[in-house]
Amino acid sequence: MYKGQDKKELKKQLRSLFKSMDFVSSNFRDSDKMGKKEFQAFFNIYQQLGLAWEFLGLQCKHWDGYKKTKDKKEICKICGKVKGADDFYILLTRKGPLKLGVKVKPNSQKTFETKEDAQIVNETIDFYGALVNVDVHNSYKSRLFGKGIKMAAERIVKVKEENVECSVDEHVIYIRLRDKDRKVGRKRYGGFPWEIRKKDLKHFPVIFDFDEKYRFLGLTILR
Ligand SMILES: [Zn+2]
């Protein structure tokens, strides 16, 4: 098959695929009227169509160039893939872990003028009620504190479940318990365990895990 034929055929297949995807997603819109079984069937069909999109997209050489979307991304006029993110994929499999995107880390030594220019990804997924946020950016000059402060390149992952927030970056693992009844303006302290008096330590429902050489292995917080 010569190139022109390739392109024509692919365009045709993608057009009909997008029609099918639109049809399924329009059914999702009034999914509250749907039974559980029916919803599952539509969900599965959408996943399968998504897979077909992935495969067809791989054949696209983005011959017709890109168009700008409202959120300033450039997407291929034919296959709808985002420019410069060809390795990005959404794949919800039935077996094994669900996968959304590929792992990203800071990828430049440069300090950028603005956070937007330095940002690689900052996205949140609401996953069965738990919020997961991944924020990856290169170094940039912050104007937050008047004079430009250089913010370091980072990859920060945050998970929020009910009143518990956990944030993990290269240097710190931070767990915060949000208490709705806590009055605004009340003080917040911090300290290493050996700095706190034994009788005060007893307020903290924390268990340390360690090995025979007292190497730290983890901790448990009782709720
Ligand atoms: Zn394309």
Sign of CA pseudo-dihedral 93, 98, 101, 102: negative
Residue 49 lies in a domain: yes
Q: How far does the centroid of ligand 1 lie from the alpha carbon of residue 100, in Å?
A: 20
Residue 40 lies in a domain: yes
Q: How far does the centroid of ligand 1 lie from the alpha carbon of residue 79, in Å?
A: 4
- Give the pLDDT score at 1: 47
For residues 154 and 106, what is the distance between their CA atoms, to the nearest angstrom?
6
Residue 208 lies in a domain: no
- Give the pLDDT score at 34: 78
Q: Which residues surround ligand 1, an ion (CB under 5 A)?
A: 60, 62, 76, 78-79
Chain CA centroid to CA 100, Å: 8
Q: How far does the centroid of ligand 1 lie from the alpha carbon of residue 21, in Å?
A: 17
Q: Are strands 216-221 and 206-210 parallel, antiparallel or unpaired?
A: antiparallel
- Give the pLDDT score at 29: 67
Please give the residue range of the domain that contains residue 41: 1-102
Q: How far does the centroid of ligand 1 lie from the alpha carbon of residue 136, in Å?
A: 26
Residue 70 lies in a domain: yes
Q: How far does the centroid of ligand 1 lie from the alpha carbon of residue 7, in Å?
A: 10
For residues 34 and 52, what is the distance between their CA atoms, to the nearest angstrom?
25
For residue 207, list its beta bridge partners: 220
Please write the tens of the pLDDT for every residue from 95-112. 567 777 778 899 999 999
Q: How far does the centroid of ligand 1 lie from the alpha carbon of residue 78, in Å?
A: 5
Q: Looking at the 3D structure of the chain, how many domains does it have?
A: 1
Residue 108 lies in a domain: no
Q: How far does the centroid of ligand 1 lie from the alpha carbon of residue 14, in Å?
A: 10
- The pLDDT tens digits along the chain (223 residues) read 456 778 889 999 999 999 998 888 887 766 677 788 888 888 888 888 988 888 888 888 888 888 988 777 888 899 988 887 655 455 555 556 777 777 889 999 999 988 889 999 998 988 889 999 999 999 999 877 766 788 999 999 999 999 999 999 999 999 999 887 777 778 889 999 999 999 999 999 999 999 999 999 999 999 8
Q: Model pTM?
A: 0.57
Residue 197 lies in a domain: no
Residue 68 lies in a domain: yes
Contacts of 176 (CB under 8 A, 6+ apart): 164, 165, 166, 167
Q: How far does the centroid of ligand 1 lie from the alpha carbon of residue 213, in Å?
A: 57
